[in-house]
Structure 1
Amino acid sequence: MNPTVRFLLSGLLLSVLAALALLYSLDTTEQQRDDAVFASATAKSANERSPEIYRLVLAVLSARNHHERRHFIRETWGKEVRDKAGVKLEFVVGEECSVPVKLREDPQSCEQRQWKPDSGQEIHEAVSVGHESPSPVHDCQRIVQPDETLGIDFELLDDVVITHLGVYDQAQDGLHGTGQLLVEIYDSVLEKLIVSQALSSGDTELERRGHFLYKPVTNFAFPKGFLGSVVASGFSAVNAAVDVAQPRCNTAPSNASRASNDPMRLRRRSRHGMAAAAGFLPPMVESVFERTPRYLAASFLYTAHPTTAGKDVPTHDAQLYLIKEHRHQSFTRAQLLDAEQADYGDIVTVATVDTYRTLADKLMAYMKLLVDSTQFQFLLKTDDDCMLRVPAILNGIATIGGDLTRVWWGRFRRNWSVERFGKWRELDFTGKVYPPFACGSGSVLSRDAVAWIASNSQSLKPYQGEDVSLGMWLLAIGVKHWDDERWYCSADAYHTAGNRSDYLSVPNLTIDQMRDLWRKETT
């Protein structure tokens, strides 16, 4: 071979070998980088994305200190989850509330209570002419019709006790004749009668305050946030009382002269009209603006609720002791929770305070984590006081088949009344009944519905409880309700149905009751 050609080929061969070496070096570096990324990803917490695709993720909402309940679930129906491929079980807890229960505004929340100075049980008047600015009354006489009811809506800004109901007496000379005037207080949202009192000329218990005559009632406690209506009826031409108890209207702003710390305020809503029947709120409502008459027909007297008075305020030392004790207990709970997570690795802690009032926020925060970290087809949400039959639930999911979008499978409550008192009181939704929602024993959502909630979490408002909130949120996308009575809404409903063995979930159980049910299931 020509030496020149041999030299050129040798140079070319060396160039190729050098290029291959470079490519190998680059590929090795890339592989090492990929390996490092993979190692880093696998070292992250369970909240990071998993390459496995889960058919079903079971999320059990649990309190931080419910160690025994979680342990029982792991040893019973939770075992069936671990034995199934493509199924995952996670317990969802929130963060510790820093306020001791005894210092909270509401035991179900994490808001610190603000005690008010002791007013000495001062008597307040809901409606009085003194609350109105002086204004001409030339057009404020109203000709009432037989059986017509007049009144005004109000809102309580604090817990109060109502002690008297009263009517407006224009001439301030008392009641005459044989007629009666009826004063009633309604829940203006539910249109439900709460308390009433009849006044007549023969009453010896009548007390005068300016233009109003009052009569005592059995003390009735109303909570902060209550929306009510105080109305009076009996102002008619056939009632002799009409001559001395004519209702008055006024065009001044409704709260112009009220103190800023008054426990209630009048709403800009006047009521009038014929009640449909005894005990029913008059239907006609007028929005009250600066020049719109408002009818001062009825009023009530009230005191600040005793629980907000100064006499039951813990001393400074007592509050410090409660805070110190709570911090110690919180630290102990955190240590136990960390140890439990180290043993089982199935606890997800979301950045939401763990209280009943924040359950909707807690569920939403978990959904965001789940969508970002896990590939799944369905999410089952339940509580740690529920007994589930996992094989039957998986069979049900298989029945859904190809219908994988916008699915919500559970036992649905429809036309469920909104409560305004107690643990389940609704603070935001003003309707009378909720949209359909699955009861809390357990329900299954398709991934797209969960992903929609997660992606819109910044604009979705939490309502009373996570189940009600789901019903409100999912109205926007029109999910399909798979209503199944085997998701029992209460233990009583399960027992009433004859303790059927084909249940999917039974809620509100103690650990002993869950153990008995599991024993029946496995023997």
Structure 2
Amino acid sequence: MHGGKLLPSLSMRSLALILFPCVIAVLVHEWWRLKDQTDFFSDIRAAVNGSRRMVYEVVVGVLSARHHHDLREAIRATWMGYIRDHPDFRNRVLVKFIIGKHGCAIPEEDREDPYSCTQLNLTEPGAVQDVTVLSKPSALVPSDVSAICLDFKVLHPIVITQLGVFPSGPQNDFRGSVTVKLFPVDQKEPVVTAHLTALSPGVYVEGIWYKAVEQFVLPKGFEGNLLWESQDPTGLMTVNVSKVQLNSGGGVIKLGPIEDGTLPHRSAHGFPGLAGGFIFSIYDVEGLKTQLHGRVDRQQAHKARLHKEEKALQEESHKHGDIIFVDVVDTYRTVPYKLLYFYKWMVRNAEFSLLLKTDDDCFINVDEVLMKIDYKGLIRSNLCFRRAGLWIV
């Protein structure tokens, strides 16, 4: 009786074991059929639209500035031409120049620096030669740190003449000991130093104690920071920056952010803030006036150059078909965006194993690259961001 109940159960189990592989086979077959149809129709769409994805072993993206026509021609005549004429390499390697779609509309003389496209907002200098960054500070509070730092950038040459510290006594007198140092960005040695003590506080001018320092001309593009240090944080006073107005001398200097919540960058000497001031004079005032008076003429001439440059680029692109225009303003600082947009374009339009970035002043040994196609990458750990120069972050 017990055996009679077991037989139907065994029969159902056996049937399931037989049918299961068949069901899997049917599902796999149906999946492949649908996939083939999808690929088939995708191929038809690509053929109709002329957008069938090409396959390459290596794609070389050549970063190039809009006005570097001669460098691009040199590449076309050398290693790029070698690829084009080689019966094997022409189908394995693709080379494209990466160029920003837009030229900077600001003449180079009127930019903050040659690496970006930021307007230099200078105004006519006044009759007073000495510029005080901050006068009559109010709402001073004791600092809770022993080092406070202010970043700044020079947009027209200046000479710093005095470094100052906020008073720390109840009658605006100076107590304690504070050292003020001027550092170039990313440098460990100061350019000038002023040491203020209770016995030698310097001179009191409009709410700040100052000491004269050795004078150096800080050129346009100089990036530095002022550091206020004290062994006793209670002797270091700071100010509520929302209640003060800083004087940039008509735009000849650009002060870094010091608002509450601003975090120090990795190479900073102290916490962002303001524990005093400084006095500077504008160097070459006549040169500054000449620059300002010629701004309109420079703008008109630059606009004409941009129009001529754009026309030449379009003719070059139509002739050679090897330029990718990416939607950025073409400057040094936008290079990361140029690479990103180029990579995005390549992923959409081609398949490749290796993407190689180079510049338009470099030579590529194509044979060596293809021999070492098993690329392992370059890994750099603990890499600091640059705080000055071309690749500032």
TM-score normalized with structure 1 length: 0.52
1:373 aligns with 2:311: no
Cα distance between partner residues in 2 of 1:341 and 1:163: 53
Pairs within 5 Å for 1:68-83: 68-82=70-84, 83=86
Structure 1, residues 137-191: CA drift from partner, whole Å, max 9, x if none?
Answer: xxx699xxxxxx944222438746532124566477899xxx9974323468776
1:92 maps to 98
Further displaced range: 218-227 or 355-364: 218-227
Equivalent residue in structure 2 for 1:116, among 96, 120, 123: 123
Seen in structure 2, the aligned counterparts of structure 1 residues 217 and 417 have a Cα distance that, compared at 3 Å, is: farther
Other structure's SS at 1:388 match: coil
Structure 1, unmatched stretches of 5+, are 1-32, 43-48, 143-148, 236-245, 271-279, 289-293, 401-406, 429-523
Other structure's SS at 1:156 match: strand
Pairs within 5 Å for 1:97-246: 97-119=104-126, 120-126=128-134, 130-133=136-139, 150-156=146-152, 159=155, 161-167=159-165, 170=169, 182-186=179-183, 193-198=190-195, 206-209=202-205, 210=207, 212-219=209-216, 221=218, 228-233=225-230
- What percent identity do the matched residue pairs reach? 24
2:23 maps to none
Seen in structure 2, the aligned counterparts of structure 1 residues 216 and 207 have a Cα distance that, compared at 3 Å, is: farther
Equivalent residue in structure 1 for 2:318, among 342, 348, 355: 342
**CA-CA distance at 1:101 after TM superposition:** 1.9
Cα distance between partner residues in 1 of 2:259 and 2:224: 9
Other structure's SS at 1:349 match: strand
Q: With a CA cutoff of 8 Å and minimum separation of 6, indicate the structure with the bigger relative contact order.
A: 2
Other structure's SS at 1:109 match: coil
Q: Is contact 1:191–1:281 with CA below 8 Å preserved after alignment?
A: no
**CA-CA distance at 1:389 after TM superposition:** 0.7
1:256 maps to 243
Q: What letter corresponds to residue 121 of structure 1 in structure 2?
A: Q
Seen in structure 2, the aligned counterparts of structure 1 residues 313 and 188 have a Cα distance that, compared at 3 Å, is: closer
Q: What letter corresponds to residue 154 of structure 1 in structure 2?
A: L
Cα distance between partner residues in 1 of 2:120 and 2:299: 13
1:359 aligns with 2:326: no
**CA-CA distance at 1:207 after TM superposition:** 3.3
2:235 maps to 247
Seen in structure 2, the aligned counterparts of structure 1 residues 418 and 302 have a Cα distance that, compared at 3 Å, is: farther
Structure 1, residues 189-222: CA drift from partner, whole Å, max 9, x if none?
Answer: 776634313468998x943324514223313538
1:393 aligns with 2:389: no
Cα distance between partner residues in 2 of 1:319 and 1:188: 30
Q: What letter corresponds to residue 377 of structure 1 in structure 2?
A: S
Q: What letter corresponds to residue 132 of structure 1 in structure 2?
A: S
1:466 maps to none
CA RMSD, Structure 1 to Structure 2 (Å): 4.6
Seen in structure 2, the aligned counterparts of structure 1 residues 36 and 333 have a Cα distance that, compared at 3 Å, is: farther
Equivalent residue in structure 1 for 2:390, among 400, 418, 423: 423
Other structure's SS at 2:215 match: strand
Pairs within 5 Å for 1:386-465: 386-397=362-373, 399-400=374-375, 409-410=377-378, 418-424=385-391, 426=392, 428=393
Cα distance between partner residues in 2 of 1:336 and 1:141: 58
**CA-CA distance at 1:421 after TM superposition:** 3.4
Aligned residue pairs total 333
**CA-CA distance at 1:303 after TM superposition:** 4.8
1:332 aligns with 2:308: yes
Structure 1, residues 434-478: CA drift from partner, whole Å, max 9, x if none?
Answer: xxxxxxxxxxxxxxxxxxxxxxxxxxxxxxxxxxxxxxxxxxxxx
Other structure's SS at 2:346 match: helix
Cα distance between partner residues in 2 of 1:141 and 1:319: 44
1:59 maps to 61
**CA-CA distance at 1:307 after TM superposition:** 8.3
Cα distance between partner residues in 2 of 1:340 and 1:101: 24
2:278 maps to 300
**CA-CA distance at 1:113 after TM superposition:** 2.3
Seen in structure 2, the aligned counterparts of structure 1 residues 100 and 301 have a Cα distance that, compared at 3 Å, is: closer
Cα distance between partner residues in 2 of 1:381 and 1:107: 23
**CA-CA distance at 1:383 after TM superposition:** 0.6
Q: What letter corresponds to residue 387 of structure 2 in structure 1?
A: R
**CA-CA distance at 1:335 after TM superposition:** 2.8
